Every structure is written in structure tokens, then in C-alpha cells.
Amino acid sequence: MEVSKILVLIVAVAVVLAGAAAFFVLKNDGEKDREINLISGVNLEGSGMFIKSSVDIDTMIDTSDGVQYKPAGWGGKVFATPGTTSIQHILLKSVVEDKSKIGLKLLPYQVGTTLSSDTVYYIAPLASSADVLSSAIIDGGMSWQPQLERIISDDSGKFKLLALTNDMFPGHLCSVVAGNHSYTSAHQDETVRFVAAFVKATEWTANALANPGSDDYNKLIDIALEVIGWDDNERNRAEMERSFTVTYVFGENSSNPLSAIKRDIATYTDNLYAMGDILRSSLSDLGFDSTSAFVDKFVDDSYMKKALAANDSDLKTGKNANINVAVITGDIHQIAVHVAKALGYFSDYGLNVTFSYAVNGGVVAVALQNGDSNIGILGSPPIIINVINSELVKG
Amino acid sequence: MSWSRGEDIFGYDENNKLHRAVRLLLLAAVSLAAFILIWWFISIIADTPSVPSPKKTLDALVDLYLHGDRMTHTSLGSYVKSSLATFVKGFMLAIAVAVPVGLILGYSKTLRDLANPVIEILRPIAPIAWAPIFIISMGYTVGPMLVVFVGIFFPLLTNVIFGVRKIDPVWIDAARTLGSSQIQVFYKVMMPSAVPYMMNGVKVGLGVGWMCIVAAELYASPLGGIGFYLAEQATSGYWPGAYAALVVIAVLGLLTIGVADYIHRALSKRMGMDV
């Protein structure tokens, strides 16, 4: 090929590239909408720690007055968590690294690691009861319900309950509903109807749990068994009933329905920053001068307010719409969304809700980011970590 | 004036070793620069956190090098060491099994015909598909090693068989005429002759092996390794970190394949074979 031809080719390619770049840059005169917002609460508490049956629990905790930790019993042990951004992992990290509680290091376990008494080790992600029970390495772990109940009820007798997060972190916010802003802002009516159906299902679930033995209670257990994929037999029903250590709350029924959630999200955000190096962007990088300013933008209570104020008959007149919801597999924290589908609350409001299943909250966050799911249900820490690290909310 | 013949342009002399080296270096630089420009261009068009710019990726890579993984307090060296350790174990096992088996199957038509159906059934299965099975059934130490083994084994085996079958029968006849026993023919003629083909299989297998180790680490976090770091960074939404892991994987792959290529060329040259 002649040199002149090559030079012409190079110039032509450069012009095309530069032109295309200018076109796309000018076309994107506004920032793309990649915002993710928290639009509802889901539940409080509902996880717990298990430990090898051979371990004396008294060497690790004292529960005579709340939960007091004994560091010597924790050092050198290996714990499973559902993932490094999961709420279970963050809770474990907070208690292990807190000098007023355990005060040890929390490091990943690697094959060949020599275990040290000044360190607690973790393996993540290791969440399902089947994976946990087949692991030859772990001493214990933290898992969500009903995986926790299955692990401690297994015939092998390998593990027993160490403590529920209800006792270790009383009243802690767990899962939340998050929405892809480009979807929710363009489909406000559909989002309000989704939230309204979710609120209705949450209330139904809480009432059913408050009345053990009632028809609704039995129906809830039926739905939970179906969702988790357990056969309906006496043993599984009993295990599922014991698994409901979860408190279902969407928020508060007032003019400021997500105020408690905003407070908890602010606390989580501050704690995550205090843990160091989990959050890679500062709030000022995102354009906020305070945690509360960030939380006010991140937590959008407008849909909840409209849903709580809406008339049931009005909600049923909306046009039909499809919504994809990313949920965590094998998790009854999120049972209300499955209740809403099973009892026809979504279809009553003209919504055809389909589910995408993820192994942990981090994967739900990715489904929200890439737009595969319109709405997602996940733990508070994974959504905060993803929103800040990927700079998905800006001031 | 042409670039392919190249004696004229810019005084380039194809027979001059220095000229050839400078030419290769320049072309590599242009190629890499073009790649980075295209990447940068795509990051602008995509305008999404999951496609960070080369600059952000470089910053994350430098941070990883200087401070290690900030979430787990693990150094880059530790991740690389872990990945390499699993890789080398799987690689050595593949060499230890595939080379003798390949030599025997290449030598014996009957055994080759006997083994072929099994090989053809197993060979198309993507090695990555074995990852969850091996890791769950064999544990974190042996499981990932077997994933790498499968990835390298089949390319190596087929190349060794091919190498043995390509041996000029005259060489074997000559050795026998000179009084070599069957065993001497095997290890003095067939084995050395198959080495360049074996190295070709090693080169192909190394590329597949790297894919396997990363996949295995995604499944088996206690392995640590750069694949674990990649998954961890992606899950926490820190995409520059995930891309930095990709760069590290690419560099490790390049280095290992480069070493294999060098050995391949050196051996082939020594044996008077064209590469």
C-alpha cells in the first residue's frame, strides 16, 4: 500500500472518530439519568449468626444483659457471609472491628492462611444453607432467614444458633426497595401503584404474623414455602414458621413516611465511611455537603406519600404495565413482594410484575444500574455502597 | 515506495535487526495507543460508571499497586501470587498427564481409536463449566487446580498427538536401522520431535488456563486471587477497580504466553523447524 494512501486512511479514521465523539458529546448535553433512589422500607432485623455445635457459646458472647462480646472466643475463627457488601457482612464487620465490642481485624480467609488469634476471617459470598453445610472450612457465619433456620436445623447437627441480629443490633434496618430513577420518573403512576400494592402486602404480612394459626398466617407460610422452594411438609412448615424472626415495615403511616429510614440510612452511611475504604467517593465528590443532604436526595418518599394518600379504587383504574423487580433468591425478608403477587395486589392495580433473581444485594444493585430491572429489593448497605461508589446520586 | 517491501521508506532495511525491532516497537505503540483511544471514546459514548475511562482505570491500578485492596487489606502481590499458584499447579498437572498420554495415543493407532470417542465427548465442554462442580466436590485447593488442568489438558493433548503423528517415518526407520529399541525410538525420536507441537499446545492452553483460573476464583473466594478482587470490586460498584483487575489479568496472561512463545521458538529453532 502506498504511504500516501495510508496517511489518507489515518486522517479519514481520525476525522470519523473526532466527528462521532463530537456528535455524542454534544448529543449528551445533559447527564444521563443513572440515579437510583430508595423508595420504601421492607423489613427490620431477620438475620442471625450460627456457630459450630462444638463451640461453647459462652466463650463468645454473654447474653445475660443484651449481647456482650468476648474477643478471645472470636479470634482465629472463619465466618461465612453472603457477600462483602451484604448487610450481614457489614454488621459482622461493625461488631468485629468495634473496639468496644470485639476489637479484632476482619480479613478474608484464603487457602493456606495461618489463622491468627487477633483476626476474625470471612469467606464471602457463602449464603445458601446447602453451600454453608457443605463447607469444611467455616466455624460459623451470618445469614438471612430462612437459610439461617435451615442451617441450624439440619440433621447433621453441624451448626447451632449463636445469636439473632435482632439481639445483636436491635431494630436495625435491613432490606429496602430501590427504584431506577429513569424508570420511576417516567412511570410515576406505575411506581405509585407498585408501592401501594407493596404497602398493602406488607401490612397483610405483618397482620398474618401477629395471628399465628389464622388462615392468613397459614397462607403466608404456604407462599413462603413456594417462594423458597421447600416441599410442603410438617418439618419444613415448622422450620419456616421459626424463620419469621423478621419485622415487616414499609415506613411510617404519616406525612413523613420514610423519616425513620432516612435516619437509619444516614447512620449506615456515616458508619460505612468510618469503616474506611469501602466507600470510594466522598459525599463532596457527589456534590453533597452533608450526609443528610445526600440522604434527602437518595431517599425519595414522594411515591410512598402518594401511595398512602391514594384511594384504592383509583389505583385500580391505571393502565396495564409491566415491571421487572430484582429480588434476592431464597430470602423471606422480601416476602411481601411475593405476597403482593400471590394475592393479586399487583394485578388488581394493573401491574404485571416479573422477578429477576440475584444471589445477593450487590447483584440486585447491578440489575438496577444497567436497567434490566426497574425496581429492586436489597439490603441497605449494598445499595448505599453501590450508589456512592458508582456515583449514582448527585447533588 | 512500499511498506511491505520496505527497503526505501524512511531508510528501513528489513534485513537490519535494529530496524525490525524499532518497526515492531512503533507498531505496538500505535496499536496500544489506538486501543486506549477507542476505549476512551467508548467510555464517553457509553457514559456509564461500568465503563470507566482509561485514566480512572490507571488511577485504580496505581492505587491497587500502592495500597492493595482497600476493602480486604490484601496486596496486589498476594492476589497475583495466589492466582499464579493455582495456575501453575493446574498447568504442571496438565503437562504431567497430557504429554505421556498424548505420546502414547500418537504412537498407537489402536489406543488412539479407543480413546477418541471419550476425548471428543469431553473436549467441547467449556472448562469453565467444570468450575462449580470441581470446587464444590473437590474443595478449594484441588477443585480450582482441576479447572485449570481441564483448560490446558485438551489443547496440549491434541497437539502432542498431532506432533507424534507428524513425525517423518524415515526418522523412525533410520533409528531402528541403527539398532534402536522400541523404547529408544519412543524417547529419543518421538518425544523430542513432538516438543515444538507440545509447546504450541501449551501456548493455546495457557490462554484457556487464564480464563479458567479467573472463573474459578469467581466461584471460590477463599482462593483469593485477582478473579476474587474483580468480583468484589464489581459487586461494590467500584468499576475502575474491576477494570484494573482486568488489566492485571491481561498482563499476567501476556507474560506467561510470552514466556511459552519464547521457549517454543527457541526449541523449534534448535530442532531446525519453522515457526
* DSSP character string of B28-74: HHHHHHHHHHHHHHHHHHH-STTS--HHHHHHHHHHHHHH-BTTTTB
The stretches of A28-142 forming alpha helices (DSSP H) are 87-97, 129-134
- Nearest by CB to A391, which of B2, B49, B74? B49
Q: CB B236 to CB A85 under 8 A?
A: yes
Q: CB B71 to CB A137 under 8 A?
A: no
Q: How far is B224 from chain A (nearest CA, A)?
A: 6
Q: How far is A127 from chain B (nearest CA, A)?
A: 12
In chain B, what residues touch A381 (CB-CB under 8 Å)? Answer: none
A362 at B interface, C-beta within 8 A: yes
What is the C-alpha to C-alpha distance for residues A224 and A289, in angstroms, rounded to an integer? 43
Q: Which of A188-202, A351-365, B150-164, B213-227 has maximum average pLDDT?
A: A188-202
Q: Using CA of residue B80, residue B84, residue B87, residue B89, what is the dihedral sign?
A: negative
* Nearest chain A residue (CA) to B50: A390
Q: Which of these, B217, B112, B203, lies nearest to B165 by C-alpha position?
A: B112
Q: Which of these, B205, B114, B89, B107, lies nearest to B156 by C-alpha position?
A: B205
Q: CB A391 to CB B72 under 8 A?
A: no
Q: CB A108 to CB B4 under 8 A?
A: no
Which of A328, A364, A390, A391 should we substitute to test contact with B (largest number of B Cβ atoms within 10 Å)?
A390
Per-residue cell: B208 = 484457556
Neighbours of A312 (CB within 10 A): 10
Q: How far is B247 from chain A (nearest CA, A)?
A: 20
Q: For residue B34, report the phi and psi dihedrals to the nearest 5 degrees.
A: -65, -40
Are the CB atoms for B161 and B102 separated by under 8 Å? yes
- Nearest by CB to A111, which of B41, B140, B235? B140
- One-letter amino acid at A332 equals I
* Nearest chain B residue (CA) to A362: B235
Q: How far is B175 from chain A (nearest CA, A)?
A: 50
Per-residue cell: A177 = 426497595
Q: CB A137 to CB B48 under 8 A?
A: no
Are the CB atoms for B163 and B194 separated by under 8 Å? yes
Q: At residue A99, does pLDDT exceed 70?
A: yes
Are the CB atoms for B156 and B196 separated by under 8 Å? no
pLDDT per residue, tens digit, chain B (275 aa), is: 445 554 555 677 888 888 888 888 998 899 999 999 999 999 988 888 889 999 999 999 999 999 999 888 889 999 999 899 999 999 999 999 999 999 999 988 999 999 999 999 998 898 888 888 888 788 888 888 999 999 999 999 999 999 888 888 888 889 889 888 888 888 788 888 888 888 888 888 888 888 888 888 887 778 888 998 998 898 888 999 999 999 999 999 889 888 888 888 887 777 766 55
Q: How far is A110 from chain B (nearest CA, A)?
A: 4
Predicted TM-score (pTM) of the model is: 0.83
A379 at B interface, C-beta within 8 A: no
Helix, strand, or coil (residue A60): coil
Residues contacting B272, CB < 8 A, separation 6+: none
Per-residue pLDDT band at A110 (split at 50, 70, 90): confident
Sorted by where each starts, the structural domains of chain A and their CATH numbers stand as 36-44+174-389 (no CATH), 47-168 (3.40.190.10)
* Nearest chain A residue (CA) to B228: A124
Q: At residue A237, does pLDDT exceed 70?
A: yes
Q: How far is A130 from chain B (nearest CA, A)?
A: 11
A365 at B interface, C-beta within 8 A: yes
pLDDT score of A20? 67
Q: For residue A316, report the phi and psi dihedrals to the nearest 5 degrees.
A: -85, -5
Q: Using CA of residue B51, residue B53, residue B56, residue B62, what is the dihedral sign?
A: positive
A29 at B interface, C-beta within 8 A: no
Which of A111, A135, A180, A277 should we substitute to test contact with B (largest number of B Cβ atoms within 10 Å)?
A111
In chain A, what residues touch B235 (CB-CB under 8 Å)? Answer: 83-85, 360, 362-363, 366, 382
The ipTM, to two decimals, is 0.75
Neighbours of A41 (CB within 10 A): 28
- One-letter amino acid at B87 equals F
What is the C-alpha to C-alpha distance for residues B36 and A327, in angstroms, rounded to an integer? 37
Q: For residue A121, report the phi and psi dihedrals to the nearest 5 degrees.
A: -110, 155
CA A137 to chain centre: 26
Measured between its terminal Cα atoms, the distance across chain B in Å is 29
Report chain B residues touching chain A, CB-CB < 8 A: 1-4, 9, 37, 41, 44-45, 47-50, 70-74, 78, 82, 136, 139-141, 221-224, 228, 232, 234-239, 241
| Angle (nearest 5°) at CA A82 between A80 and A86 | 125
pLDDT score of A54? 96
- Nearest by CB to B71, which of A28, A110, A278? A278
Helix, strand, or coil (residue A370): coil
| DSSP 8-state secondary structure symbol assigned to residue A84 | T
CA atoms within 13 A on the CB side of B129: 5
Q: CB A123 to CB B222 under 8 A?
A: yes
| Helix/strand/coil percentages in chain B, nearest 5 | 80, 0, 15
The stretches of A137-290 forming alpha helices (DSSP H) are 147-153, 165-168, 181-186, 188-210, 215-228, 234-243, 259-275
pLDDT score of B40? 93
Q: How far is B152 from chain A (nearest CA, A)?
A: 23
pLDDT score of B1? 44
E strands in B114-177: none
| DSSP 8-state secondary structure symbol assigned to residue A39 | E
Q: Using CA of residue A228, residue A231, residue A237, residue A238, what is the dihedral sign?
A: negative
In chain A, what residues touch B4 (CB-CB under 8 Å)? Answer: 1
Are the CB atoms for A138 and A78 separated by under 8 Å? yes
Q: Which of these, A245, A228, A50, lies nearest to A156 by C-alpha position?
A: A50
Are the CB atoms for A334 and A144 separated by under 8 Å? no
Q: How far is A256 from chain B (nearest CA, A)?
A: 30
CA A196 to chain centre: 20
- What is the rounded average pLDDT of the residues A235-249? 96
Are the CB atoms for A378 and A176 separated by under 8 Å? yes
- Nearest by CB to B70, which of A277, A370, A382? A277
Preceding omega of A146 cis (within 30 degrees of 0): yes
* Nearest chain A residue (CA) to B79: A110
Residues A118-170 pLDDT 10s: 999 999 888 788 888 988 889 999 999 999 999 999 999 999 999 999 999 99
A385 at B interface, C-beta within 8 A: yes
E strands in A70-124: 78-80, 105-108, 119-123
Are the CB atoms for A174 and A42 separated by under 8 Å? yes
A109 at B interface, C-beta within 8 A: yes
- Nearest by CB to A111, which of B47, B223, B236? B223
Are the CB atoms for B156 and B98 separated by under 8 Å? yes
Are the CB atoms for B62 and B212 separated by under 8 Å? no
Per-residue pLDDT band at A201 (split at 50, 70, 90): very high
Residues contacting A262, CB < 8 A, separation 6+: A295, A296, A299, A301
Q: CB B41 to CB A21 under 8 A?
A: yes
Q: How far is A382 from chain B (nearest CA, A)?
A: 7
